[in-house]
Amino acid sequence: MNKHFGELHVLRDINLDVARGEVVVVIGPSGSGKSTLCRAINRLETIDDGQIMIDGEVLPAEGKALAKLRADVGMVFQSFNLFAHKSILENVTLGPIKVKGMKGGEAKELAMSLLKRVGVDNQAQKLPAQLSGGQQQRVAIARALAMKPKVMLFDEPTSALDPEMINEVLDSMVALAKEGMTMIVVTHEMGFARKAADRVVFMADGQIMEEATPESFFTNPQSDRAKDFLGKILSH
């Protein structure tokens, strides 16, 4: 696919295939188009040309069919985006009830099991602001999973967190990866990439510059852009 923001060619001939159960980490300098790519996959951004297919079905550009297929794509953002005035439990049950027409009792049961899976079931009655950032982000993961997505997109899910909370979120993501979820994860957390990723995709200037296994990418990057980028993040 291609996309412009005015003069800026923000996504250039992006061609990315992700197999079922595969975990792809997208890495690259700020401004390289990683967030735009995630948003385009979910049709939160229009694209100029190309198409997005999920499980063999072309994602329509708009309308009811889009809403249905979009439910197949779970998204977790840097900012947790929970509904501030709803309890943790309600945050997770809302989608299944409103979008999927699930009964209240069933939605609650599902939500509690997902909250348990990410270790925050004991927070179910609280409001988001009463939780730490790490807990809120785990709720956001549970909320996305409640829609039973076929693929999960994560856009820098730990970059707004205090350091001591990063691992609790990454651990939930590693567990999800091990369970076989298909995942596209924008992150600079190399520990996560090494533990969970099947493939690292390096983006720069709106292009996919390199694709490799984590081991090969981190130890033997090919392009000057990737070498330069890794030099910068490794020197921290």
Query: Does the footprint of ligand ADP cover residue 33 (CB under 6 A)?
Result: yes
d(CA 144, CA 223): 35
CB of 173: closest distance to ligand ADP in angstroms? Answer: 18
Query: Does the footprint of ligand ADP cover residue 138 (CB under 6 A)?
Result: no
d(CA 102, CA 55): 23
CB of 200: closest distance to ligand ADP in angstroms? Answer: 15
DSSP element (H, E) containing 229: helix 224-234
Whose Cβ is closer to Mg ion: residue 35's or residue 42's?
A: 35
Whose Cβ is closer to Mg ion: residue 16's or residue 97's?
A: 16
Options 4, 5, 113, 178; binder of ligand ADP; rule CB under 6 A: 5
Options 35, 42, 135, 137; binder of Mg ion; rule CB under 5 A: 35
Options 23, 24, 36, 149; binder of ligand ADP; rule CB under 6 A: 36
Distances (CA, A) of 149 to 75, 97, 111, 200: 9, 15, 14, 22
Where would I find the beta strands (DSSP E) of the chain? Answer: 3-5, 8-11, 23-27, 53-54, 57-58, 73-76, 151-155, 182-186, 199-204, 207-212
Name the 3-class secondary structure at 73.
strand
Q: What is the C-alpha radius of gyration for the chain, rounded to an integer number of angstroms? A: 18
Options 14, 24, 25, 35; binder of ligand ADP; rule CB under 6 A: 35
CB of 31: closest distance to Mg ion in angstroms? Answer: 8
Whose Cβ is closer to Mg ion: residue 9's or residue 100's?
A: 9
Piece of 27-35, 108-116, 117-125, 202-210 that binds Mg ion (CB under 5 A): 27-35
CB of 134: closest distance to ligand ADP in angstroms? Answer: 22
Pairing state of beta strands 151-155 and 73-76? Answer: parallel
**Count of residues engaged in binding Mg ion, rule: CB under 5 A:** 2
Whose Cβ is closer to ligand ADP: residue 34's or residue 199's?
A: 34
Query: Does the footprint of Mg ion cover residue 158 (CB under 5 A)?
Result: no
**DSSP assignment of 149-191, as one string?**
-SEEEEESTTTTS-HHHHHHHHHHHHHHHHTT-EEEEE---HH
Options 3, 34, 43, 138; binder of ligand ADP; rule CB under 6 A: 34
Distances (CA, A) of 225 to 19, 216, 230, 232: 27, 16, 9, 11
Binding residues vs ligand ADP (CB under 6 A): 5, 8, 10, 28, 30-36
Binding residues vs Mg ion (CB under 5 A): 34-35
